[in-house]
Amino acid sequence: MAVTQPAATAPATIEVRGLIKEYRRGTPVLRGISIAFPDRGITAVIGPSGTGKSTLIRCINRLVEPTAGEILFHGVDLVRLSRKALRQHRRRIGMVFQEYNLVERLTVMENVLSGRLGYLSSWKAFLRRYPPQDIAMAWDLLDTVGLAQYANQRADALSGGQRQRVGIARAVMQQPDILLADEPTSSLDPKTSVEIMELLSSITDTRHIPVIVNIHNVPLAKRFAGHVIGMAGGAIVYEGPPGGLTDDQLNRIYGGENWQE
């Protein structure tokens, strides 16, 4: 279906054009966002609560339906895809959630393997008949995140940091071309937050896939991101390297200045 374009003009992995989202008619949460996300490294999306960061990231894989605009994934507009075609493209988009969203009553191993569900018939998935290479990959990933000894424990037995690492393993299990992370550190303590960001950083380095992270913590964003997008009021007000984020820029993003030290 997708005709590959000449390499010279290879499209960005994810590009958003004129994206508008209104949950209620007439009150847009996103007011025409256009960005080509960089193909490497971590891109941090920062901005105050309620400014549409989560909506933006959820529009990318259409967990939230955009009101208008285009979401180009390898040049294919996801917004116009049928349900079935959308599912096939979602397989290549990994997602990590603020509250981990693991299936609590399934084991850690089942949660990691659920990243392969898009590639498996429902019947085989129900009977847990995964191909051996999937199971091998799951073990490797659990080793990478240091949780192999918990493989047969239920997900609700783990701590927050451990759950988030399982959540990341599940997303990587999809062998995605891009990773979306919606506030992955907001429910975690500062030390664990850094560990999670380090893990995401190592994934973008070793797998050469872009990671888009919504994040509240500005120092953490500056430390790990190669590219920063600042949002305010449903629009982009800053785009550039983390070094360019001056106090003035931050005031434009968050408004006021009393919150800064």
Partner 1 sequence: MTDPAAAARPPAFLPNWPARLAWLALIVYSFYAASILDVTWERFLLGIENGIRFIGRMFPPDTGTSKLQLLAKGLYESIEMAIIASALGIVLSLPIGLLAARNLMPAWITWPMRLFIALCRSFHQVIIAIIFVKAVGFGALAGILALTVASIGFIGKLFAEAIEEISLKQVEAIRATGAPFMSVIAYGVLPQVLTRFVGFATYQVDSNLRNSNMVGLVGAGGIGGTMFAAFQRFDFDFLLTILLAIIAVIMVSEALQNQIKKLYQ
Nearer to partner 1, 88 or 251 (CB): 88
Closer CB to partner 1, residue 84 or residue 191? 84
| Closer Cβ to partner 1, 90 or 227, answer by number | 90
Residues of this chain that interact with partner 1 (CB under 8 A) are: 61, 63, 87-93, 95, 97, 99, 101-106, 110, 114-118, 120-123, 125-126, 167, 170, 174
Nearest distance from C-beta of residue 85 to partner 1, angstroms: 10
Please give the Cα distance from 56 to 175 (Å, whole number).
22
Nearer to partner 1, 86 or 235 (CB): 86
From the CB of 182, what's the least distance to partner 1, in Å? 10
CB of 90 to partner 1, least distance (A): 3
Q: Which helix (H) or strand (E) holds 213?
A: strand 211-214
Strand order of the β-sheet with 211-214 is 93-96, 178-182, 211-214, 42-46, 227-232, 235-240
Minimum distance from residue 44 beta carbon to partner 1 (Å)? 20
Reading the block at residue 59, the tokens are 């529009």
Query: Least CB distance from residue 76 to partner 1, whole Å?
Result: 14
Q: Minimum CB separation from partner 1 for residue 88, in Å? A: 7
CB nearer to partner 1: pick between 12 and 63: 63
Whose Cβ is closer to partner 1: residue 21's or residue 227's?
Answer: 21
Sort strands 211-214 and 178-182 into parallel, antiparallel or unpaired.
parallel
Contact present, 94 and 172 (Cβ < 8 Å) = yes
The phi and psi torsions of 156 (rounded to 5 degrees) equal -75, 0
Residues 6+ apart with CB under 8 A from 123: none
Tokens of 34: 């256009």
Whole-number minimum distance, CB 29 to partner 1, in Å?
Answer: 18
Q: Residue 226 to residues 36, 69, 192, 244, 258: CA-CA distances in angstroms? A: 14, 26, 21, 11, 27
DSSP one-letter string for 9-68: GPPPSEEEEEEEEEEETTEEEEEEEEEE--SSSEEEEE--TTSSHHHHHHHHTTSS--SE
Which lies closer to partner 1 via its Cβ, residue 105 or residue 191? 105
Tokens of 131: 């191909």
